[in-house]
């Protein structure tokens, strides 16, 4: 069986970013399902040329589809990069041979349009994955304000929902959203974000602390994108409130369009205890997290973010680290059930600062939280088990007739 996945931001474990699709595809490829990944040659985090053409596992083919660079410049450039990739990826998809299934993933919605059109031309079933609720996130964040654009976006969203044969979601709240949109529940399959805990069986070699002269510091780590949605400024303001605690050091491991602004904010506020590490390969994340005393997950305080399952939370849990969570909703339910961290008020630097202090001042409780998180993620969010569910879903669509819906 052969699957075409159109995903502009696809990355392998050798690059920075979310590797959910790489890990799922690798598992399936080892069991006879081949994947052709149509992706951009430009990293969505760094804007640099991707290294994906080299070193892919057997059974995974990467096809780079042209788009423009510079999508971190501004919103117009970003949309331009999405639209150009949409058209070029359609061409690459149509040229693909001997395929059995086309998979699209959103956001951005443009690449899902590509997958739908390729499935229509090739007369193959269309699996649509919803990773974020677009355009609702953009509307909630104030990025999309024009009423005509909002109407057109929602209309396009509804068209995609009508054309998909099956849906894959990574949060239970997304399933509820689709049902409210009129999607038949039996067509929706939940495979949440998770982690392969074995990848985090890493001994703390103290390499990062030694390299940066941070021995004896309380190391607080955020690993993820530095975008508008991530609300890193609230985290930095909490560190400013704690500036009398010189033993606390914040490490931001990631990149994004807000990085320069955030670095300037740190310079203006003379915060010497913040390090911007930049984007690092996913394969290096376990080593970095092994040296953390605590980890942070944060998003802007908007209603739609209460529906998300941020993957970084599961990485922190798999690494056995206590976390400070500045997000409400379904992911807070997970953290509270696992008893693996402190939940603070989203968008509130003082609440975030209090959470950091509590974990630092109660190391025994923090260690217990870390152990709880690792145990919970192995039981409920194991990536290997999720990959098997994904393989079963793919195989169930192999013999479908075109547009059985």
Boundaries of every domain in the chain: 2-194+382-396, 197-380
Q: What is the pLDDT of residue 67?
A: 86
Give the pairing of strands 60-64 and 248-253. Answer: unpaired
Residue 12's pLDDT is what? Answer: 86
pLDDT tens, position by position, 270-292: 999 999 999 888 889 999 999 99
125-135 pLDDT, tens digit each: 999 999 988 88
Q: Check for a shared fold between 2-194+382-396 and 197-380.
A: yes
CB 141 within 8 A of CB 300: yes
pLDDT of residue 380: 96
pLDDT above 60 (res 53): no
- pLDDT tops 70 at residue 71: no
**163-202 pLDDT, tens per residue?**
999 999 999 999 999 999 999 999 999 999 999 999 999 8
- What letters, b where the CB count within 10 A reaches 16 and e where it falls short, cover 364-379? eebeebbebbbbbbbe
- Does 234 or 150 have the greater pLDDT score? 234
Half-sphere exposure of 320 (CA within 13 A, CB side): 15
- Which residues does residue 343 pair with via DSSP β-bridges, in sequence order? 325
Whether 347 and 234 have beta carbons less than 8 Å apart is answered as yes
Instruction: Please choose, from the candidates 140, 104, 129, 197, the residue with its C-alpha nearest in 3D space to the C-alpha of residue 385.
Output: 197
CATH fold label, 2-194+382-396: Rossmann fold (3.40.50)
Please report the pLDDT score of residue 339 as a whole number.
98
Higher pLDDT, 405 or 30: 30
Q: In angstroms, rounded to a whole number, what is the distance separating the alpha carbons of residues 166 and 187?
A: 5
Give the tokens for residue 215: 């021995």
Q: Domain 197-380 carries which CATH code?
A: 3.40.50.2000
Is there a contact between 134 and 154 (Cβ–Cβ < 8 Å)? no
pLDDT digits (tens, 9 = 90+) for 327-337: 999 999 999 99
Rounded Cα–Cα distance for residues 208 and 189 (Å): 40
Is residue 51 over pLDDT 60? no
Among 1-10, 83-92, 207-216, 263-272, name the one with the lowest average pLDDT.
Answer: 207-216
* Average model confidence (pLDDT) across the chain: 91
Q: Which residue has the tokens 């696809």?
A: 10
- Here the tokens at position 70 are 């510079």
């Amino acid at each position: 069986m052969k699957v075409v996945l159109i995903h502009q931001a696809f990355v392998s474990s050798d690059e920075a970013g979310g590797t959910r699709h790489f890990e799922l595809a690798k598992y399936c490829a080892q069991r006879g399902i081949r994947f052709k990944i149509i992706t951009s040659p430009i990293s969505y985090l760094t804007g640099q040329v991707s290294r994906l053409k080299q070193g892919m596992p057997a059974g995974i083919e990467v096809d780079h589809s042209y788009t423009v660079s510079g999508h971190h410049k501004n919103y117009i450039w970003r949309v331009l990069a999405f639209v150009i990739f949409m058209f070029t990826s359609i061409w690459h998809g149509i040229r693909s041979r001997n395929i059995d299934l086309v998979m699209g993933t959103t956001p951005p919605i443009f690449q899902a349009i590509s997958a739908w059109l390729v499935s229509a031309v090739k007369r193959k079933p269309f699996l649509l994955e919803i990773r974020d609720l677009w355009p609702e996130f953009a509307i909630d964040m104030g990025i999309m304000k024009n009423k005509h654009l909002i109407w057109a976006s929602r209309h396009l969203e509804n068209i995609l929902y009508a054309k998909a044969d099956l849906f894959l979601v990574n949060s239970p709240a997304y399933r509820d959203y689709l049902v409210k949109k009129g999607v038949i529940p039996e067509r929706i399959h939940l495979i949440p974000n998770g982690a392969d805990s074995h990848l985090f069986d890493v001994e703390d070699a103290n390499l990062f602390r030694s390299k940066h002269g941070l021995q004896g510091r309380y190391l607080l780590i955020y690993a993820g994108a530095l975008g508008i949605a991530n609300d890193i400024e609230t985290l930095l303001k909490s560190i400013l409130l704690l500036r009398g605690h010189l033993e606390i050091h914040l490490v931001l491991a990631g990149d994004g369009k807000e990085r320069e602004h955030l670095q300037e904010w740190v310079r203006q506020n003379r915060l010497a205890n913040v390090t911007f590490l930049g984007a690092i390969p996913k394969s290096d994340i376990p080593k970095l997290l092994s040296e953390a005393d605590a980890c942070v997950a944060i998003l802007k305080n908007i209603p739609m973010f209460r529906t998300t399952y941020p993957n970084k939370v599961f990485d922190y849990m798999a690494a056995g680290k206590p976390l400070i969570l500045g997000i409400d909703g379904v992911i807070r339910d997970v953290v509270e059930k696992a008893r693996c961290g402190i939940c603070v008020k989203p968008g509130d630097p003082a609440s975030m600062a209090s959470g950091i202090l509590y974990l630092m001042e109660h190391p025994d409780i923090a260690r217990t939280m870390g152990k709880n998180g690792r145990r919970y993620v192995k039981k409920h969010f194991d990536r290997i088990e999720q990959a098997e569910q994904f393989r079963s879903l793919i195989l169930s669509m192999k013999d479908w007739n075109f547009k059985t819906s």
